[in-house]
Structure 1
Amino acid sequence: MKIVVIGGSGLIGTKVIANLTSHGHEAVAASPQSGVNTLTGEGLKEALVGADVVLDVSNSPSFADDDVMNFFTTSTENQLTAEQETGVRHHVALSIVGADRLPDSGYLRAKVAQEKLIRDSGVPFTIVRSTQFFEFGKAIADSATQDGVVRLSDGAVQPIASDDVARMVAKATVGAPLNGIFEIGGPEKFGMAEFARKALARVNDPREVVSDPAAPYFGTLIHEELVPGPDGHLAETRYEDWSAKN
């Protein structure tokens, strides 16, 4: 099976390609580095010729509301058009658990818009919604730091290792299109502030983390929106086990 991975040079993309290749598939990275620009369409149609599946794990370089909306809608529209022209039979996209439940976040609104374009395109699809990655714990703390203090709510998260994300995304990619949503997450639930404390302690970062119910997460207040639903598929890797190996 030939699979074109949009964003194939990133954290998840490189891991997914390694997983797919180890199972005998032809997985090709498509990114600006390889001459494929999904925003302008440059090189996109040519890259999809002969592809069975397109997997989109790309991300916006800017998280500003207008920028991220433009990135996900423009990139996705261009991909879907090229897929229809080249006969791609399955579009897979990586999205975020809870995106549709947190409309105050510009980033998550953009992911919802991306999902709608995919659903309405007529191209068979699978949307994999993942929780936050273990690797992003420090970045979350950085984004919530003011005057050297991290302020985050105790709203629940259920983070997951990127290796598990890649494995589960690869499985969805080679499977039949669900024409629906597949949720994945880690095995443990933390408060967001607790997750940040663990991430900072892991790298000996002395910043204080304060639990603040009014602290926003990328522009929105969170409670239980960022955890998988009852039908979610949970990975086995626990945070402490991952931390000990990385």
Structure 2
Amino acid sequence: MKIVVIGGSGLIGTKVVAHLRQAGHQVIAASPATGINTITGEGLAEAMNDTDVVVDLANSPSWEDQAVLDFFQTSGRNLLAAEINAGVKHHLALSIVGIDIMQNIGYMRAKKAQEDIIKQSGVPYTIIRSTQFLEFLKGIADQATDGNEVHLSDVWFQPIAADDVAAFVAKYALAAPINGKVEIAGPERFAMYEVVAQYLRHANDLRKVVPNGKPSYYGGEISHKALVPAGQAELGTINFEKWWSNQLQKV
């Protein structure tokens, strides 16, 4: 099959491209750097020629409310229009667990808008909603740091390794579209502050994690269970300790 991976040079994209090429498929790792731009439309029509599956892993360079909404709406519409013209048979997008109940956060509103555009397009689709990545733990700690303290919520958190995310994305890209969504998550559930504290200990980072009791995420108040699957989900196999060990091997 010919598969186009939008965002093919990113954290998840590079891994997905590797999986699919190893399985013997023709894969285009699409990004503005390779002349394929979902915002301007550059290179989209050519990339879609004879394409069977499109995997959309594009992400907004800005988290500002209006900018991120504009990004996902523009990118989604341009991409799906090109797919319709080319007769693409399957559109797969990576989304986020819990976006329906976090619509007070601009990024989650934008991801919901992206999902709605996909559902209304008429292109057969699969939406994979993922929990947050283990690779985000440092960023979560950094944005919550005040002096030598990291003030974090006690909301439930079930982070998944990027390697597991990529394996799930590749699996569903090669399967028939489900015209619905599936949820994926890591194998372990923590309070958010607990797993960040664990990460900092392993990294020999002396910052102190302080649970603040506020159910929030990136500035928005959320329910304690918003970031974890509400029902059945496919679980990755890489727990925190295995993930950390893998990070050390890459150094």
Is the Cα contact below 8 Å between 2:4 and 2:55 reproduced in 1? yes
For the residue of structure 2 that corresponds to 1:175, the secondary structure is coil
> Match of 1:227, as an amino acid?
V
Moved more, 222-231 or 181-190: 222-231
Paired residue for 1:183? 183
CA shift, 1:215, in A, is: 5.9
- Count of aligned positions: 246
Paired residue for 1:167? 167
For the residue of structure 2 that corresponds to 1:224, the secondary structure is coil
> Match of 2:34, as an amino acid?
S
For the residue of structure 2 that corresponds to 1:226, the secondary structure is coil
Which whole-Å deviations, capped at 9, do the CAs of 1:14-55 have from their partners, x for residues lacking one? Answer: 000000111111111110110011111111111111110100
Determine what percentage of the aligned residue pairs are the same residue.
54
Determine whether 1:127 maps to 2:110: no
CA–CA distance in 2 between the matches of 1:120 and 1:84? Answer: 12
CA–CA distance in 2 between the matches of 1:199 and 1:131? Answer: 17
CA shift, 1:210, in A, is: 1.0
Paired residue for 1:236? 237
Paired residue for 2:210? 210
Paired residue for 1:4? 4
Paired residue for 2:105? 105
Alignment of 1:27-106 (within 5 A): 27-106=27-106
For the residue of structure 1 that corresponds to 2:69, the secondary structure is helix
CA–CA distance in 2 between the matches of 1:149 and 1:221? Answer: 21
- State the Cα RMSD in Å: 1.1
TM-score using structure 1 length? 0.97
CA–CA distance in 1 between the matches of 2:105 and 2:12? Answer: 23
CA–CA distance in 1 between the matches of 2:150 and 2:59? Answer: 25
CA–CA distance in 1 between the matches of 2:109 and 2:172? Answer: 24
TM-score using structure 2 length? 0.95
Paired residue for 2:198? 198
> Match of 1:242, as an amino acid?
W
> Match of 1:62, as an amino acid?
S
CA–CA distance in 1 between the matches of 2:25 and 2:197? Answer: 40
CA shift, 1:206, in A, is: 1.3
CA–CA distance in 2 between the matches of 1:197 and 1:58? Answer: 30
Is the Cα contact below 8 Å between 1:183 and 1:229 reproduced in 2? no
> Match of 1:213, as an amino acid?
G
CA shift, 1:232, in A, is: 0.7
CA–CA distance in 2 between the matches of 1:16 and 1:140? Answer: 24
Paired residue for 1:23? 23
Which whole-Å deviations, capped at 9, do the CAs of 1:109-164 have from their partners, x for residues lacking one? Answer: 11001000000110000000011111110011112223342111110011111000
CA–CA distance in 1 between the matches of 2:181 and 2:207? Answer: 37
